[in-house]
Structure 1
Amino acid sequence: MLAAGVILALSLPAHAEAARDGSSADARIKAQLSALEYDYEVDEDNDFKLVFAVDETDRSQIVYVRSPVETYGSHAVREIWSPGYASPDGDFPARIANRLLEASGDAKLGGWVKQGRNAVFVVKIAADAGKEELDDAIDSAVTLADQMEAELTPGKDDL
């Protein structure tokens, strides 16, 4: 389990099963997050939003556990997202884009993607992964996204 404390809390009713189109929050993830004793809220996309205190600093980090399951052939994956950089104009300067590519190569789980004006660290795990794998993925996303935010925008903690 992540050593960081959870900042947000919201109790929500369980759904019997997540709809394949993502129209409801995935009950499997709700059960796993509850077993891990994580507090969360469900956003307008039915994704699970958590905010963690980072280490012993005053920093915090947002992470999303997506409800929809993505497929490719016989693979079914769930994504865990954590933003680490927000471009003021939507474009990433070459220095930042190159740094994100380098960091993706070093990451053991996941990699950096561009989502609109944001750089988001994304970890993909098997859709049926257990709570330990989910916990590791959340930990990786939170840690690496916060480290990148601190590196690229010193003194800021907006994500």
Structure 2
Amino acid sequence: MRPTALLFPILLALALPAAAIAQDQEPEAPQADPLVRAQLEALGYGFEVDADGDFKLLFDLEEGRSQLAYVISGTEEYGALQVREVWSPAYRTEGDAFPVDVANRLLQASHTGKLGAWVRQDDMAVLVVKVAAGATGAELDAAITYAIHVADGMEAELTNGQDEF
């Protein structure tokens, strides 16, 4: 018998218990960023932490409207830059794609907006504002305030005044 023929059953016998142990261990839930938590609390914002460890905020706006925002705990890096995202949804499509007029309006708004850009997240159009991961509480507040007002305005425009988000 060749030595490699003996090696395969030994490796298999070692691998099976390791695979079983790995399956029994549940992955850890993402943790909410403590810096963001402290900043949101200092700003007096109520929030929930979702299953992804992100902060979900609901704001009451003028004229009885409300607007949802998320502050994402995880950060993204590119070179020396590290950013965090603030999301605020504005539109939900019924089909597989956004209607052409809606998609074009969102592209136009991404071009003319001061901060952020419109993205498609599953069936929703979401304004995403990126801020430095170590942004101050005031900077985070400005990003959230901008996102919720712009997203709510776009929601009202695209849905004839409906208020889903």
Tell me how many residue pairs correspond in the alignment.
138
1:41 equivalent in structure 2? 48
Q: Which runs of 4+ in 1 moved over 6 A?
A: none
Contact 2:30 2:51 in 1 (8 A): no
Distance across 2 between alignment mates of 1:88 and 1:158: 14
Question: Please, what TM-score do these two structures have when normalized by structure 2?
Answer: 0.81
Unaligned runs of 5+ in 2: 1-27
Q: Which has the higher contact order (CA 8 A, sep 6+)?
A: 1
The structure whose residues are more often helix, as a share, is: 2
Query: How high is the sequence identity, in percent, across the aligned residues?
Result: 52
Distance across 2 between alignment mates of 1:109 and 1:122: 8
Distance across 2 between alignment mates of 1:38 and 1:23: 21
The 3-state SS of whatever aligns with 1:151 is: helix
Distance across 1 between alignment mates of 2:29 and 2:39: 18
Superposition pairs for residues 95-134 of structure 1, below 5 Å? Answer: 95-134=101-140
Deviations for 1:118-154, whole angstroms, at most 9, x for unmatched residues? 1000000000000011000001110010000000001
Unaligned runs of 5+ in 1: 1-20
The 3-state SS of whatever aligns with 1:24 is: coil
Query: Which amino acid in the other structure matches residue 30 of structure 1?
Result: R
| Bigger Rg, structure 1 or 2 | 2
C-alpha displacement at 1:22, in angstroms? 7.8
When the two chains are superposed, the root-mean-square deviation of aligned CA atoms in Å is 1.2
